[in-house]
């Protein structure tokens, strides 16, 4: 039996850091967004708690259906690492606990500050990130496979972005805890993103079973994930709670959580929306998530469902458009294409004003930055003299005609291809095939 639990670190969408006024956004150079507080200078104290970060932490607890606490105490969690200038990290007692999200139990949600970034190869430390607000979400070990990890991670991110909690451009990180066959858990630290979290879990499941098959014990330990090799490697020994020497932060009062809860609107129920979408249009889970992860795609999909039908909307948005976007490694909002132009193109295809091949050709051109309005108008008005194109193909390819008369069906496919090439994809393939057969039989 495999048990997987996650400790997910979510960068909060705030303008300032958690305990100082330094900007929380990305900086153009190392150590630009820093001050005595977030660099741990002697005598520097925290300048209160960022109220917006507290609101977002409470909202995260609501998204995860947690029992929300009335107040939270700031703690010092002691450990030594080059990216931690104070030699302790400020964290809090839970903002929420005992929740549930996508059939996974939530143990607790709490606030903490991000450490800096240490590059061991160069021996440099960048403290721009130090002090940025995070929420840490600790799950119960209710996941049982890497595939479940991927899905849960994606639904979580979607829900937190819709609620305005997660910083949109930031990656979610996770500590992945894996135990197999009733053994001790192994923690894989600082894994970035859903795909890597699933890969780390997969490798660790296989590694632990190989160790046991060889007669070696798998003890509690900490490892790190090597993204290049897709493996986990030994790290320091696993700390216990006592090793961190938690103590109350003497420079900060407990945080009142009741006021932020009253100011916030209820978050959208994303898991229910995913399930509703799948029930409405019969799409795979991954397709539903891909649609909801891109607001532009979701809006286009809704428009095409209303103006055409579910089948056309699924084919255009989830199959053809998404396939082209994936090929270009981009999103619709980041591409040169306009949503209304793609919709117009799809409606022309739905109305049989253009063929599937013309739709595909013009869609690709538009995604590559071309203005296709004139081309679409010409395709709508131009029409195709199909009988003339078929006659020309037959006259130009007597060998294919002889092959057809000898019973080779592949000859028809060849001639259809010739007609499609001559008409630049404007002819309908089905109608072309029927017209060719009639001409060849007469």
Of 8-22, 221-235, 250-264, where does the model show the most confidence?
A: 8-22
CATH architecture of 386-441: Orthogonal Bundle (1.10)
19-74: pLDDT as tens digits: 999 999 999 999 999 999 999 999 999 999 999 999 999 999 999 999 999 999 99
3-state helix, strand and coil shares in percent for the chain, rounded to the nearest 5 = 45, 20, 35
Instruction: Kindly list the domain boundaries of the chain, sorted by start residue.
Output: 2-263, 270-382, 386-441
Q: How confident is the model at residue 111 (pLDDT cuts 50, 70, 90)?
A: very high
Mean pLDDT (the chain) is 91
CB 146 within 8 A of CB 198: yes
125-134, 196-205, 219-228, range with the lowest pLDDT:
219-228
Percent of the chain scoring above 70 in pLDDT: 97
CB 58 within 8 A of CB 150: no
Q: How confident is the model at residue 403 (pLDDT cuts 50, 70, 90)?
A: confident
CA 19, 21, 24, 28: dihedral to nearest 10 degrees?
Answer: -130
How many other CB atoms are found less than 10 A from the CB of residue 183?
A: 17
Q: How many secondary structure helices (H) and strands (E) does the chain include? A: 16, 16
pLDDT at 428: 73
302-344: pLDDT as tens digits: 999 999 999 999 999 999 999 999 999 999 999 999 999 999 9
374-389: pLDDT as tens digits: 888 877 755 666 777 7
Round to whole Å and give the CA distance between 334 and 316. Answer: 18
Q: How confident is the model at residue 422 (pLDDT cuts 50, 70, 90)?
A: confident
Pairing mode, strands 186-192 and 221-226: parallel
8-17: pLDDT as tens digits: 999 999 999 9
pLDDT at 365: 94
Q: How much is the average pLDDT of 173-180?
A: 96
Position 360 pLDDT exceeds 80:
yes
CA 295, 100, 135, 192: dihedral to nearest 10 degrees?
Answer: -70
pLDDT at 238: 54
Which of these, 131, 120, 118, lies nearest to 35 by C-alpha position? Answer: 131
Q: How confident is the model at residue 247 (pLDDT cuts 50, 70, 90)?
A: very high
CB 18 within 8 A of CB 131: yes
270-281: pLDDT as tens digits: 999 999 999 999
Q: How confident is the model at residue 237 (pLDDT cuts 50, 70, 90)?
A: low
pLDDT at 385: 67
pLDDT at 236: 65
369: alpha, beta or left? (left if phi > 0; alpha if psi -120 to 50): left
136-140, 178-182, 234-238, 304-308, range with the lowest pLDDT:
234-238
């Amino acid at each position: 039996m495999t048990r997987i639990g996650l400790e997910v670190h979510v960068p909060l969408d705030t303008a300032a850091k958690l305990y100082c006024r330094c900007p929380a956004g990305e900086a153009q150079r190392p150590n630009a967004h820093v001050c005595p507080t977030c660099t741990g200078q002697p005598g520097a104290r925290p300048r209160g708690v960022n109220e917006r970060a507290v609101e977002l932490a409470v909202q995260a607890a609501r998204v995860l259906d947690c029992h929300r606490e009335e107040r939270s105490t700031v703690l010092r969690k002691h450990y030594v690492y080059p990216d931690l200038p104070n030699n302790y990290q400020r964290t809090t007692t839970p903002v929420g606990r005992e929740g549930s999200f996508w059939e996974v139990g939530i143990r607790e949600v709490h606030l903490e500050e991000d450490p800096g970034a240490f590059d061991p190869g160069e021996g440099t430390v960048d403290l721009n990130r130090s002090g940025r607000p995070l929420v840490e979400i600790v799950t119960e070990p209710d996941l049982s496979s890497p595939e479940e990890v991927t899905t849960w991670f994606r639904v979580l991110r979607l829900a937190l972005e819709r609620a305005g909690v997660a910083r949109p451009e930031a990656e979610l990180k996770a500590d992945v805890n894996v135990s197999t066959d009733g053994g001790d858990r192994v923690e894989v630290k600082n894994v970035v993103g859903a795909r890597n979290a699933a890969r780390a879990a997969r490798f660790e499941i296989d590694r632990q079973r190989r160790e046991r098959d060889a007669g070696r014990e798998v003890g509690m330990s900490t490892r790190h994930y090597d993204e290049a090799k897709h493996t986990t490697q030994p790290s320091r020994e696993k700390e216990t709670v006592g090793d961190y020497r938690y103590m109350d932060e003497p420079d900060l009062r407990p945080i009142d959580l009741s006021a932020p809860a009253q100011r916030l609107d209820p978050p959208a129920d994303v898991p229910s929306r995913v399930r509703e979408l799948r029930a409405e249009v019969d799409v795979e889970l991954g397709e539903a998530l891909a649609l909801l992860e891109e607001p532009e795609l979701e809006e286009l999909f809704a428009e095409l469902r209303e103006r055409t039908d579910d089948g056309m909307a699924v084919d255009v948005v989830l199959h053809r458009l998404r396939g082209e976007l994936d090929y270009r490694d981009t999103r619709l909002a980041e591409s040169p294409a306009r949503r209304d132009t793609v919709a117009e193109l799809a409606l022309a295809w739905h109305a049989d004003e253009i063929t599937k091949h013309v739709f595909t050709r013009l869609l690709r051109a538009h995604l590559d930055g071309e203005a296709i309005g004139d081309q679409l108008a010409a395709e709508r008005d131009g029409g195709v003299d199909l009988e003339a194109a078929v006659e020309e193909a037959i006259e130009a390819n007597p060998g294919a005609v002889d092959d057809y008369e000898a019973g080779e069906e592949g000859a028809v496919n060849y001639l259809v291809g010739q007609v499609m090439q001559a008409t630049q994809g404007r002819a309908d393939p089905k109608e072309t095939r029927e017209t060719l057969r009639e001409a060849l039989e007469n």
